[in-house]
Structure 1
Amino acid sequence: MRLATYNILHGRCPADGVVDPDRFATAVAALDADVLGLQEVDGAQPRTRGIDFTAVAAEAMGSVAQLYAPALVGTPGGLWVPALESGAGRPTFGIALLSRYPVTRWEVRRLPWIGAGFPLRLPGPRPAGADSGRETRRGIMIREEPRLAIVAHLETPRGPRVVVNTHLTYLPGWGRRQLRRLRADLAEIDAPLALMGDLNMFGNQPAAITGYRSLAAHKTFPAGTPRVQLDHILVRGEWGDVTASRAVRLDVSDHRALVVDVADT
């Protein structure tokens, strides 16, 4: 079984800024994944000409089951509201999970949301004239996106497997809170489980928080000269040994895709 997670930067190539569905399809086909988690996926967005990236990926990899789940309705970086339903026919932004194995059940789990406004402190000295007795610092207000996870219950030749795809916040502390909530929610599932996605955490942090086993340690961001690993694949329960893993640079996105091959158990 080949597992892959890929933050696609809404299908954009950082080198030239172009969004090309054929280029994206070529990138997905090159991964040759059996199960693929995508993050930063546009749905019916004017900025990407209404391209259905989930459908393009499904055809490119030959999936038999796929689900796109919007996190917000509207335009990222512009006007939007949290997506509380499918958002069909409207511009959306979210994540997708695709599988070459049949899916017997889908679930979408909403994760703790920091809310529309969050003051983020910036590094640097306090402004001139600031009262030395007050904690005054430079900062900006962040309108953080809602976050969610897709849970797929798969039927594979090895028996039932569960794969989860998510994209956690980068805001300090909140990503850990979201991952702890997701771990608690997934504890009720009694099956071998894989968790993948852009977790916005470094190194072994996700494994330490979840207690799951990390399948690969490769730097994935930025794509050109990666310095950190933000993208992870972790497992819980009986999975086969890892036979190969790599971070793949493709023509789309500022992330490298993380790919893991798992042997039959």
Structure 2
Amino acid sequence: MICVASYNIRKSVGTDWRRDPARILDIISEVDADVIALQEVDRRFGSRSTSLSPEMIAERTDYFAISFGVREQSLGWHGNTILYRKGMTVLDTMTLTLPALEPRGAVLADLQRGDDKIRVIGLHLGLVDLWRRRQAQSVLNQLDVLDEALPTVIMGDLNQWTTEGGCLAHFAENHQVIAPGPSFHSSRPVLNFDRIITTLDIEVTASGVHKSDLARRGSDHLPVWARLKINAVAAGMAQSA
């Protein structure tokens, strides 16, 4: 069993408009997932410096951060990064460039814990429906040409207002699309912006939204999570196909 989560941290700026990285790390520890995809980890302007330093993450939590930033002071690729629990092994990483009016990208990490291997993609899709659909299809196309197929989780802030259609239709063709629950706005969540999507060789045993008092103050999004069970037989067939 592996627990995954996704969290748009809004550059560590909370609903009280204070930038508080320590609070974000406390929320991440509350969620207690094995792998966490973060969005908006880097500041938007200037040097694009990260709001969460890798050293602070390692010191204050049970996680390591994968650095995808092309700038020395950045952690994410277009704001996206992945945290993994200490004790897991990183097998491979890569960045995905997505078509967009404004810069957008996704990050990928192949991870292993024990005998389980899992591919994790973290992303943050655009605000315009046409570009969200193009970005979803681009992610799927780039996954299709990878040499090795692995049980895969795609998660992040999809910015999709509707409960179906749009970019969700592309993902739903050959994946499970999980809506853990309303996660935006954190003060009164009504929108399912944050989603978790899996290949069919993964069973989702539970999912939800982390609604602690601290999380309601930490960002304008709440973290979402899912507990996953990898179907070893189906995964083996996919890898040999």
TM range (shorter): 0.7 to 0.9
Call closer, same or farther: CA 1:231–1:60 in 2, change over 3 Å.
farther
Q: Where does the alignment leave 5 or more consecutive residues of structure 1 unmatched?
A: 71-85, 115-143
**Could you say which residue in structure 1 is the equivalent of 2:28?**
28
**Could you say which residue in structure 2 is the equivalent of 1:245?**
207
Call closer, same or farther: CA 1:204–1:197 in 2, change over 3 Å.
same
Letter paired with 1:111: L
**Could you say which residue in structure 2 is the equivalent of 1:134?**
none
CA–CA separation in structure 2 for the residues paired with 1:24 and 1:168: 22
SS at match of 1:151: strand
Letter paired with 1:98: L
Matching of residue 4 in structure 1 with residue 5 in structure 2 = yes
SS at match of 2:24: helix
**Could you say which residue in structure 2 is the equivalent of 1:193?**
152
SS at match of 1:28: helix
SS at match of 1:173: helix
Call closer, same or farther: CA 1:198–1:56 in 2, change over 3 Å.
farther
Letter paired with 2:14: C
Matching of residue 255 in structure 1 with residue 212 in structure 2 = no
Q: Where does the alignment leave 5 or more consecutive residues of structure 2 unmatched?
A: 232-241
**Could you say which residue in structure 1 is the equivalent of 2:169?**
208
User: How well do the aligned residues superpose, as a CA RMSD in angstroms?
Assistant: 2.7
Offset from partner CA, 1:191-228 (integer Å, 9 cap, x none):
11110000111323444212210234411111111121
Scaled by the length of structure 1, the TM-score of the pair is 0.73
CA–CA separation in structure 1 for the residues paired with 2:187 and 2:39: 19
Matches within 5 A, 1:54-93: 54-64=54-64, 66-70=65-69, 86-89=70-73
SS at match of 1:214: strand
Cα shift at 1:28: 1.1
Cα shift at 1:108: 0.4
**Could you say which residue in structure 2 is the equivalent of 1:181?**
138
Offset from partner CA, 1:148-199 (integer Å, 9 cap, x none):
1111011123432101001111123111111111111112341111100001
Matches within 5 A, 1:228-239: 228-239=191-202
Cα shift at 1:38: 0.3
Scaled by the length of structure 2, the TM-score of the pair is 0.80
Percent identity between the aligned chains?
26
Call closer, same or farther: CA 1:61–1:204 in 2, change over 3 Å.
farther
Call closer, same or farther: CA 1:236–1:61 in 2, change over 3 Å.
farther
Deviates more, 1:89-98 or 1:223-232: 89-98
**Could you say which residue in structure 2 is the equivalent of 1:38?**
38
Letter paired with 1:247: V
Letter paired with 2:193: L
Call closer, same or farther: CA 1:113–1:31 in 2, change over 3 Å.
same
Cα shift at 1:49: 8.8
Matching of residue 166 in structure 1 with residue 166 in structure 2 = no
CA–CA separation in structure 2 for the residues paired with 1:53 and 1:204: 36
SS at match of 2:42: strand
The structure whose residues are more often helix, as a share, is 2
